[in-house]
Amino acid sequence: MKNNKIAFVGGGNMARSLIGGLIADGYQARNIWVSDPHAAQRDALQQAFLIHTTGENQEAIAHADVVIFAVKPQILKIAAEDVAPALQKKKPLIISIAAGIREPTLNAWLGGHHAIVRAMPNTPAMVGSGATALYANPQVTKLQHNLAESIMRAVGLAVWVDDEAQMDIVTALSGSGPAYFFLVMEALEKAAVDLGLPAETAHLLTLQTAYGAAKIALESSESTAALRMRVTSPGGTTEQAIKVLQEGNTEELFCAALLAAHRRSTELAELLVAPGILDPSLRSPATLAHPCVAGDQ
């Protein structure tokens, strides 16, 4: 699997993270190609990883078994149509990490009948701790399925979803998720400083606590609710704090936040859909049950 030839169309932040992860994971630099319009960007990638770089998308994809589109969503149509005739001849596996572009839309831009995997990574991929959701269309073979997963695992966790509409929930959860945790950490730090702790001490303790809690949760087979209850002794300090948070409807607030992000994700996807494409994955959020209001479930 690690001998497959991989071409990146777009050599920006995400491509760089993926290439670093792939090489650390045993993929051969000589099998990796990147095309990007910026000479400086290409030189930096070439020097860091000893991979092939080019300014021509056609050259990068020429011998590829996998083509990874790593350009901004608004550029994807131009980039896809540029290489569509060449890809129609060889039909490599296509992986797109562009947020919001649906598989039927990308397939139409590429001329149709392609094996496509949509991947939604998040920013911690840049430090090798990403969380990526993957969706495969029916043309993707078992081998290609494994290959796509192996590629995205190079930068962290990779999980599959069966229904493309779930990618909007993924966007709301893990795509936007790092910002939610930063907000919580920001609030905790500020509260500790307001109570009298030095800023640097509050900062370090907050970060390590967040990291430690995530590490325990990842290493445990128990649910997050069980873990929370385990560290909440009756009559203790944690219980008092949790009571305040629950009275403030924390759960409903996060549910409403994810719903808002989900709604925005589907709105943006609708803007990017190719004309004439009937996209079954686009479901108006207005038709979804509102899960955040008690009594609606």
CA–CA distance, 54 with 150 (Å, rounded to integer): 25
Tokens of 68: 């990874």
CA–CA distance, 170 with 122 (Å, rounded to integer): 10
Interaction mask 24-43, ligand NAP, x per CB under 6 A: -----------xxxx--x--
Q: Which of 53, 57, 176, 281 binds ligand NAP (CB under 6 A)?
A: 57
Q: Which of 4, 5, 7, 10 binds ligand NAP (CB under 6 A)?
A: 10
Q: Which of 6, 9, 116, 273 binds ligand NAP (CB under 6 A)?
A: 9
Q: How far is the CB of 35 from ligand NAP (least distance, A)?
A: 5
Q: Return the number of the residue (93 or 269) whose C-beta is nearest ligand NAP.
A: 269
Q: How far is the CB of 86 from ligand NAP (least distance, A)?
A: 13
CA–CA distance, 74 with 249 (Å, rounded to integer): 38
CA–CA distance, 20 with 44 (Å, rounded to integer): 12
Given a contact cutoff of 8 angstroms between Cβ atoms, the answer to whether 154 and 18 are in contact is yes
Q: Return the number of the residue (78 or 253) whose C-beta is nearest ligand NAP.
A: 78
Given a contact cutoff of 8 angstroms between Cβ atoms, the answer to whether 120 and 175 are in contact is yes
Given a contact cutoff of 8 angstroms between Cβ atoms, the answer to whether 119 and 94 are in contact is no
Number of residues that bind ligand NAP (CB under 6 A): 26
3-state secondary structure of 133: strand
Interaction mask 64-103, ligand NAP, x per CB under 6 A: ------xxxx-x--xx-----------------xxx----
Q: Name every residue whose Cβ is closer than 8 Å to that of residue 195 and which is 6 or more positions away in sequence.
A: none
Under the binding rule (CB under 6 A), the answer on residue 265 touching ligand NAP is: no
Q: How far apart are the first and last CA of the chain?
A: 45
Under the binding rule (CB under 6 A), the answer on residue 174 touching ligand NAP is: no
Q: What is the DSSP letter of 5?
A: -
CA–CA distance, 153 with 131 (Å, rounded to integer): 9
Q: Which residues pair with 117 in a beta bridge?
A: 95, 136
Q: How far is the CB of 128 from ligand NAP (least distance, A)?
A: 13
Q: How far is the CB of 191 from ligand NAP (least distance, A)?
A: 28
Tokens of 92: 């490599």
Interaction mask 113-152, ligand NAP, x per CB under 6 A: --------xxx-----------------------------
Q: How far is the CB of 246 from ligand NAP (least distance, A)?
A: 32
**Judged by CB under 6 A, which stretch of 4-12, 154-162, 188-196, 270-278 contacts ligand NAP?**
4-12
Tokens of 207: 């970060």
Q: How far is the CB of 276 from ligand NAP (least distance, A)?
A: 23
Q: Return the number of the residue (11 or 104) whose C-beta is nearest ligand NAP.
A: 11
Pick the closest to residue 32 from 48, 14, 58, 51 (CA basis): 51
Q: Tell me which residues touch ligand NAP (CB under 6 A).
A: 9-15, 35-38, 41, 57, 70-73, 75, 78-79, 97-99, 121-123
